[in-house]
Structure 1
């Protein structure tokens, strides 16, 4: 069943919204459940509706040209190798009212505080496992669980400094969390370039739209990084895996934007327990590292011996408090998909309150009742590896509509769950909201 937005003939957006459909059971960012335009969108849609199609095309091209000239790219990996792709710009921005954003923000702040407490416990007293609030095997068997970091309290006291969250709007219009990004979150630099490009497309509109600026966020983070230094004469660096990383552009961009050194593992050496960077003037101390490589590659001595991008002795320097790491090594554990099944209860245990922003409903199949529920409802779930850190609908062994897939094998869903229950989770199959795109002079829905 579909519906269409009813727009008064005199309204300048009539032609723009002609044919814009509203699908039953799917939320949309432009319109609400009644098919009426959300008030926060009206000024922008009116502005866009007054522009001739040729002007819009020219402005979109201006935004694309900016990203091209700025050299914004990401690396796409496939079986045939890697390929650099230009960053795609969504010309029509997603607009969220400040009131709604404040509610989202409050939920994410609470979640960040919760994840910090979970990290401190799992690498400290481990009361969550001992109290039965988190299954021991989801930690002990987890590839992101770094035993050498147990008992190591980060300098400054915090495990997490920079987080990202995958969020979506559900069919009923509410927001929820799809996944947590605590390992080495990317996207901030791309978001900034997206904002710059969009502001060039809609320069006249942005000037008076009271759009929240991003610069304050980056200034605050830069100040926080500098605040982690023990000596003003020491350096802050961004530790990158190198040019072949899929988000290397962002590493270089943020390093330049914030005024930090861009470093790779071979640029560093641990001397007398301290981390030093090789320069033309000799070894110089590095006091803070913003890590953009996966934790297990950071130190081939105590973590992954096959690593060629780490720095021998890095764990020892962290253990001695000679360097601050953002985020702490081992924090990738918090991205584990199965953890989503336990975070609502853990929030009540650690913080004495319920999650303000719920995460996607998740059931770990290592428990009898939960496994039975997943078996009975598998046709409307996404089923995949419990220890995965990918989103539920990404192809890493997930099942869609009851058809199981895992690398190298196909099997009946029930047999799969019964045989490998503790290694699997079932997650609610959600339909995310759509947002408008500008196509040939009119708005069309885009997922």
Structure 2
């Protein structure tokens, strides 16, 4: 994220925008409707042009070399199996001015607070269900709703400590929330590596732009975790599913960066109601566990019995208040697509205010009026599973674009919605804004979505002053998913 008060650099030796063609009807992050660079981009582009194509290629190669030397990778799963892919850095960052970032931050802090209150109600007094604001059947049917932790108050006093939100800018120029990450948000370590790599390439330009640093965000969250552990007399650890997880590199990187133990489920045991780590000196207490595995796999005794990556007895230790789970077990419920349909009403009920950052418009087909609206506007909808926690552009197996359906498939889908409406949501098809990527010596527009992170610290919710943008390798908006070859840019 740029502060926007950098020095102007004059002179051009290479016009990077010569072949840049924004898409009609789509907002472009770099240029306005007249094709002129936006203020925050103008001097940055001039600085790149001043370097010339040869030096610019050398700079970007320097960033790629850093990532290779650091061993940054992402595990990709496809029909052929699993393989490790080098981290795909999009060398041109996404620039956002301070004023706009402040508005994004305010909206996300509000959203995090709303989610905290919503989860506390669902696992506590359940007033939202009693008042008819949330359908009981929808909550009970969700795999993310964990009955063993109903009535359990977190030892830390909070259900959520670390969240991420996926944003997209629509054709109206507004930022919309495309998805929420409250289960075990990934990518913060990759965002930091993006920043380090991009700074290696553009250190002089970043210096002139006074780009906000990310280190303070991580330092404050580490201090918050250590503060919780100090009160309870234990240690802080990150719980990872293990090396086969797609983001394992990040788990290890964050653990090293913050000086926190990285553990797998088998490294832990529960003794006397306390969570303990096995060490050469014997059992040592762990009182803060930043989990990077889905909650359902955390304890084979009370959750998924087939889990081989959890720790038996963990739920009981949490129930006794002996350990704080970051985030609380069951908090992944807020990620389900159907929840977005109820957030405006929940916000008015719990906080007496509207959402500063709206979710992408969502209708749950379990309600008659919503189902009728979806069917009447099918060509404008993306239809998907109500309880899915995946983003629409990540899921091509069970998510369908209404306008792309052929006659037979369309009739079949309509029949399924009419028969089992509660299984589906309709979401407005969003056209994502584009941001520049460097291709063959020139800049070209590609669709992008922004991921932003929030951490609960001593000062309350702290927003990372940056993040990472998932950028498409083509103009197809579904191509921004990392599992499908998308790229990641610094923000």
Q: TM-score range by the shorter chain?
A: over 0.9
Correspondences of 1:42-53 after superposition (within 5 Å): 42-53=42-53
| 1:378–1:413 Cα contact (<8 Å) kept | no
Instruction: Specify every segment of 5 or more residues in structure 2 that has no aligned partner in the other structure, as ranges.
Output: 1-9, 448-491
1:47-90 Cα deviation digits (max 9, x unpaired) = 00111211111111100000000000011111221101000001
The 10-residue stretch of structure 1 (43-52 or 413-422) with the greater mean CA deviation from structure 2? 413-422
Q: Which residue of 2 aligns with 1:344?
A: 344
Q: Is the 8 A contact 2:437 2:444 kept in 1?
A: yes
Structure 1 match to 2:440: 440
Query: Is residue 13–residue 52 contact of structure 2 (8 Å, CA) maintained in 1?
Result: no
Shift of 1:379: 1.1
Mapped partners of 2:206, 2:321: distance in 1: 45
The answer to whether the Cα contact below 8 Å between 1:384 and 1:396 also exists between their aligned partners in 2 is: no
SS in 1 for 2:190: helix
Q: Which residue of 2 aligns with 1:397?
A: 398
CA contact (8 A) 1:384 1:397 kept: yes
Cα distance in 2, alignment partners of residues 301 and 442 from structure 1 = 56
Contact map agreement 2:364 2:426 (CA 8 A) in 1: yes
Matched residue, 1:165: 165
* Superposition deviation, residue 416 in structure 1: 2.2
Q: Equivalents in 2 of 1:300, 1:230: separation in Å?
A: 29
* Aligned match of 1:195: 195
Per the TM alignment, residue 441 of structure 1 is displaced from its structure 2 partner at its CA by 2.6
TM-score in terms of structure 1 length: 0.95
In 2: Cα distance, 1:404 partner to 1:138 partner: 27
CA–CA separation in structure 2 for the residues paired with 1:110 and 1:230: 29
**d(CA) in 2 for partners of 1:330, 1:18:** 51
Distance 1:109 1:396 in 2: 33
Structure 1 stretch 77-86 or stretch 351-360: which is displaced more?
77-86
Alignment partners' CA distance in 1, 2:195 and 2:401: 34
Q: Structure 1 residue 231: deviation in Å?
A: 4.4
Using CA pairs under 8 Å that are at least 6 residues apart, name the structure with larger relative contact order, 1 or 2: 2
Matches within 5 A, 1:54-93: 54-93=54-93
Cα 1:233–1:322 shift into 2, 3 Å:
closer
Map of 1:32 onto structure 2: 32
Q: CA deviation at 1:126?
A: 0.5
Q: Which residue of 2 aligns with 1:3?
A: none
Q: Does the CA contact (< 8 Å) of 1:238 and 1:261 recur in 2? A: yes
Deviation at 1:43, TM superposition (A): 1.4
Map 1:12-27 onto structure 2 (within 5 A): 12=12, 15-27=15-27
Q: 2:293 aligned with 1:290, yes or no?
A: no
| Cα contact 1:40–1:97 (8 A) shared by 2 | yes
2:386 match:
386
Given that residues 235 and 286 in structure 1 are in contact (C-alpha distance below 8 angstroms), is that contact kept between their aligned partners in structure 2? yes
SS in 1 for 2:22: strand
Q: Distance in 2 between matches of 1:238 and 1:338?
A: 30
Cα distance in 2, alignment partners of residues 322 and 413 from structure 1: 48
Q: What TM-score results when the alignment is normalised by the length of structure 2?
A: 0.86
Contact 1:402 1:413 survives alignment (8 Å): no
State the match for 2:133 in structure 1: 133
Q: Deviations over 1:224-249 (max 9, x none)?
A: 11111144752100000000000000
User: Would you say the 8 A contact 2:232–2:287 is kept in 1?
Assistant: no
Question: Could you say what secondary structure the match of 1:155 adopts?
Answer: coil
Any unmatched runs of 5+ in structure 1?
1-9
Verify the 8 A CA contact 2:89 2:194 in the aligned structure 1: yes
Give the direction of change, closer, same or farther, for the CA distance of 1:106–1:266 in structure 2 (3 Å limit). Answer: same
Please list, as runs of the form range in 1=range in 2, the aligned pairs for 1:276-355 lying within 5 A after superposition.
276-355=276-355
User: Helix, strand or coil for the counterpart of 2:15?
Assistant: helix
Deviation at 1:22, TM superposition (A): 2.3
Is the Cα contact below 8 Å between 1:185 and 1:292 reproduced in 2?
yes
- Structure 1 residues 131, 412: closer, same or farther in 2, change over 3 A? same
**Structure 2 CA distance, aligned partners of 1:372 and 1:40?**
44
- CA deviations over 1:399-419 (Å, ceiling 9, x no partner): 1134569xxx98633212112
Partner secondary structure for residue 104 of structure 2: helix
Q: State the superposition RMSD in angstroms.
A: 1.6
Conserved? CA contact 2:233–2:287, under 8 Å: no
